[in-house]
Chains A and B, each alone.
Chain A
């Protein structure tokens, strides 16, 4: 029972990340008609906002280790700790949550620059052109990050207070052995909140109504005198913020490196296709579904029956769903 509950949590948590990336992907595809292969790079950039904030907060006074003469080695003490003592330590400890506040404007700006500076020139071009240019852009972003931060993963821990595990079992009367990391629970809550906020924004605001109308019939909305293009530019910015926040919050789970966006991108495309291209609900449902299936397929009991199933389950499900429902789970004919 415990192991099943934990695998469900693992799946929801993983699915949360897939859903957040896929949501932005499908939002951009549904509005702008662009298959954005640089979307994974936005997830990675969000993670590096966190790394950068941490680097800034830990700018340190360096005291040379005199016992080492062949090169300069330092014992580093962050200035925040020197100036403000425990308060400084606490601020550094909260680098990741602080990064969220920084990531929102930064990612919005990056999204707008990306759309206005490059993507908009490819709206009327072939799908192949769009894929090539966005894929190329993703590689350029990756290489810039690698040149500045190196190829190694960079540790970006969660605040000390939520660094350990929560005794879920004890809380729900299932025994002490059922534990789950606090930060993963926070991530799950965070992803559900962001997904909810995006849906609410699209459903209950006038801007959201314009976007939804534009997704259905762009031309007619334009004829009503509404600047659809500007609305869609903002949608691109929102998608960038969602992907970026997903990346920022993911850093304590997966120490970020320049390639992490590409690792998630492939799975997120599968999620979008399984959910139905352009379907927001489909992307979210497929994200969680595939996350859970992937977790269950990794259980030793399952792998002992079908060896290697953990590595192919997502693609297997995608094939089956596309055979049965070619437009995806919630895609419309």
Chain B
């Protein structure tokens, strides 16, 4: 103790102040900021630029993650001038020339999110701090996307979200460094509402079963908002634990509730299980209030439809994109992906592929990899030829606006992949909303 006091007393006042300031800076900032105080994080020095693909490689969404990774690898190939170029031939405007980005070839590293926020943050952190990733992209869950987006904002690295559907990603949790091409629950509600009215009428009573996390709440809110606008009543909205497995105890109260529509705000395995069990309880054969009982699954994916088997037939939902679209961009992507892997891409693969091209193109247009310049290039960027018609990355919330698909489980599939039938390509105008509606603050770029 006495020695410590002696040591302290030998320090000069100036030396003490210097040491204190240096210590405070070092303690409050991650190493990654300190090492690039005057440039930007992971500014590429060699002949390559590294991107970080953070997808679920294990866990319940591993199949979806594997498809995302396939799409990312294909995008890298196309950007570097390999393969047939895919959407690089259809996307307009496009500055990429098929020789990399800003004179550098694109390389990548991968991380496993395990569909867990903490694991996803830790793999993103590793890719930024150890592997030198300049941009992070991926995810198959809104909880994960929001957690990683927030980390990227702190680190000053751009995050191009993969499959995330909660309003919060570009709403209350939006960030300056985060961008989402995928649609959201607000758009699902806006696109699905009129189709539900046409198919099932205005006089309906809905019962919601909702996955108890950010995406489920967001999905439930949007569908309630748009169906109640039509005149539907909401009998109950019951939260179910994520990964419940057996949903029988949540489905049985629906039987005699007086509701004639069950809305399953579930995704992935939860949706497969709850739909299978709802059908077993005879809900689809039931008549309530003089009407045929209906089930609605607001967010569909082809991989989910595979798991649900026969039960998905005739069920309405919405999706970001489907491989059966006939526009030039979709066809170019399906052709490349099909030739490379032997089967069609999922909607998750599509959004990940497009996000990678958009990021690379923004770097090329900005003439820099500096995130502030890239953000500026992405904000308000209008493009076409990537599926879903003319699209805009809205500057106010970094959400892409484009056409949305309303789909139905195919009653008579022509092949093992033909599981969803596109009922309507809902125009972008119908799903647009003011950026202020979902709240949140983008924050600023750390230039």
Contact = CB atoms under 8 A, between A and B. Distances in A.
Interface string B410-438: 00001111100000000000000000000
Contacts of A177: 255-256
Interface string A126-165: 0000000000000000000010001111110110000111
Contacts of A13: 248
Given A70-B334, A165-B281, A153 B255 contact: no
B276 A183 contact: no
A151 B112 CA distance: 15
B276 A65 contact: no
Nearest to A164: B282
Contacts of A10: 248-249, 252
A7 interface: yes
B63 interface: yes
A263 B335 contact: no
Given A6-B255, A13-B248, A72-B342, A259 B60 contact: yes
A299 interface: yes
A153 B248 CA distance: 18
A255 B338 contact: no
Nearest to A156: B309
B273 interface: yes
A144 to B, nearest CB: 14
A74 B248 contact: no
B59 interface: yes
Q: Max chain A CB contacts within 10 Å: which of B236, B303, B309, B337?
A: B309
A152 B63 contact: yes
Q: Max chain B CB contacts within 10 Å: which of A71, A165, A257?
A: A71
B280 A311 contact: no
B278 to A, nearest CB: 10
A295 interface: yes
A146 B62 CA distance: 9
B82 interface: no
Contacts of B335: 70
B154 interface: no
Interface string B148-165: 000000000000000000
A321 interface: no
Contacts of B310: 155, 157
A294 interface: yes
Contact of A257 (B248, B256, B269, B281): B269
A327 B310 CA distance: 47
Contacts of B341: 71
Contacts of B215: none
A295 B280 contact: no
Interface in A1-59: 2-3, 6-7, 10-11, 13-14
B252 A252 contact: no
B214 interface: no
Contact of B249 (A164, A179, A259, A310): A310
Given A65-B415, A70-B335, A152-B307, A184 B282 contact: no
Interface in A284-300: 294-295, 298-300
A45 B246 CA distance: 19
Majority secondary structure of chain B interface residues (helix, strand, loop or mixed): helix
Contact of B273 (A158, A255, A298): A255
A163 B416 CA distance: 23
A181 B236 CA distance: 23
Contact of A2 (B256, B269, B417): B256
Given A152-B306, A253-B277, A65 B414 contact: yes
Contact of B60 (A151, A163, A180, A252): A151
A181 B343 CA distance: 36
B248 A155 contact: no
A67 interface: yes
Given A10-B252, A157-B310, A181-B280, A257 B60 contact: yes
Contacts of B306: 152
B380 to A, nearest CB: 33
B249 A299 contact: yes
Contact of A255 (B236, B248, B272): B272
Contacts of A7: 249, 252
Contact of B59 (A151, A163, A164): A151
A75 interface: yes
Given A70-B339, A255-B307, A300 B63 contact: no
Interface string A244-264: 000000001111010110011
A295 B331 CA distance: 48
Given A14-B246, A146-B62, A155 B309 contact: yes
B15 interface: no
A315 B61 CA distance: 27
B3 to A, nearest CB: 45
Contacts of B285: 164-165
Contact of B256 (A3, A72, A311): A3
B250 interface: yes
B308 A75 contact: no
Interface string B220-261: 000000000000000010100101011011101101100000
Interface string B331-350: 10011011101111000000
Interface of A: 2-3, 6-7, 10-11, 13-14, 65, 67-68, 70-76, 146, 150-155, 157-158, 163-165, 177, 179-181, 183-184, 252-255, 257, 259-260, 263-264, 294-295, 298-300, 303, 310-311
Given A73-B344, A257-B269, 18 more contacts: A3-B252, A3-B256, A7-B249, A13-B248, A14-B246, A70-B335, A70-B338, A71-B334, A71-B343, A73-B415, A75-B415, A151-B61, A151-B63, A165-B282, A179-B255, A179-B281, A259-B60, A264-B245
Interface of B: 59-63, 236, 238, 241, 243, 245-246, 248-250, 252-253, 255-256, 269, 272-273, 276-277, 280-282, 285, 303, 306-311, 331, 334-335, 337-339, 341-344, 414-418
Closest 10 CB pairs of A and B: A155-B309, A71-B338, A70-B338, A73-B415, A298-B249, A165-B282, A151-B62, A153-B307, A181-B280, A6-B252
21 contacts: A3-B252, A3-B253, A3-B256, A7-B252, A67-B414, A68-B415, A70-B338, A73-B344, A155-B309, A155-B311, A164-B280, A181-B281, A181-B282, A252-B280, A253-B276, A254-B273, A254-B276, A255-B272, A294-B249, A299-B249, A310-B249
